[in-house]
Amino acid sequence: MSASPGPGRLVPGAQGLLATRVDATQVGAPSDLYYLAAKGPVMDRIRTDRRCTVTGHHVYADDAPTAVTGRASSLGEFVASARGTCSMHHVKTRWSYFVAAPGFGPAQERGIPGSGLYVIMAATAMAPGSHRVLDRLVNHVRFGQDGAADFVRAVAKTPV
């Protein structure tokens, strides 16, 4: 499975897979904006929907950019994952989410071309084993040669 640039939307409660990236070389926006998008609005739709719950999340890197912190050494990177459930129209789904905005930090040093913003969202019917299905879906999405685990390894302070 691979991902390509372009807009997309997976509404809460729907089943499917969305994988997209914003290529910084084509957009030309400063890396600070990717950090802000990854940390806030990218996930707001699910967080604010009363029919959905977040059952777990993990932030692998959260180093606000220099424009926010005033520190010259700020990398401006954000990498996180979350999971949860939605219940709409008597249909229950389980979802999983991954976002990376590597900024100018370690992920770019790996040579990720046009590093900007990367989003993976998957949802499936809630059933026994559905969390394993979602893990497989999210972990098999590739942005070029790199997947979610590569982003996590790139920003991890200790080996994953």
pLDDT at 123 over 50: yes
**Which residues are within 8 A (CB) of 101 and not within 5 positions of it... i.e. 6 or more apart?**
31, 34, 35, 37, 38, 39, 76, 77, 78, 79, 116, 117, 118
105 or 126, higher pLDDT: 126
* Mean of the per-residue pLDDT values of the chain: 78
pLDDT of residue 88: 80
pLDDT of residue 158: 44
Scan for tokens 């991890």, then name that residue. 156
pLDDT digits (tens, 9 = 90+) for 23-52: 777 776 766 777 788 887 666 767 777 888
pLDDT of residue 98: 92
13 or 96, higher pLDDT: 96
pTM above 0.85, yes or no: no
